[in-house]
Structure 1
Amino acid sequence: MMIEVFKTNVQEVEQSQMIVEKLLEHFPNSAINFDLEDCDKILRIHSLSISNRKIIAVLNANGFHCEVL
């Protein structure tokens, strides 16, 4: 199991829920969550295989910034 952590600019719970749904399309059977209380609006993904490039592309395609921490 791999864990990857990203800094994002996602602000709203509704936005985070939409992003999680889109990421689960690409990474089924993954545990994906946001910590919007953190100043870096942390996105955590627990999965057997993780593509940082794909995750960043999904967020960028939806108008959000995302970078690996």
Structure 2
Amino acid sequence: MIFVFKTSVKTKKQIKAIKPSLNQLLLPNAKWNFDLEDHDKILRIEAEEDIVLRVRHLLSIHNFHCEELD
């Protein structure tokens, strides 16, 4: 499944800061990337299981807004 989130992550430095946490949460069975050029600062995750609540929680811990897009 592919999950798409609108986030408040704006810089590569911010991605670098949360990268270890995302990798720990999602690997080895998921792939993820940010599109900072998109207006909504998109986070795309390809995962085999529903990870929406865990991702939203993780980003909120790091003080970022995150909402799943349809």
For the criterion TM > 0.5, the same-fold answer is yes
Matched length: 68
2:18 equivalent to 1:19:
yes
* Percent of residue pairs bearing the same amino acid type: 41
Q: Deviations over 1:27-51 (max 9, x none)?
A: 1121110000000000000111132
Aligned to 1:34: 34
Give the distance between the partners of 2:49 and 2:20, measured in 1 at CA.
17
- Where structure 1 has 5 or more consecutive residues not aligned to the other structure, the ranges are none
Q: Which runs of 4+ in 1 moved over 3 A?
A: none
* Aligned amino acid, residue 63 of structure 1: N
- Where structure 2 has 5 or more consecutive residues not aligned to the other structure, the ranges are none
The alignment's TM-score, normalised by the length of structure 1, stands at 0.89
SS at match of 1:55: helix
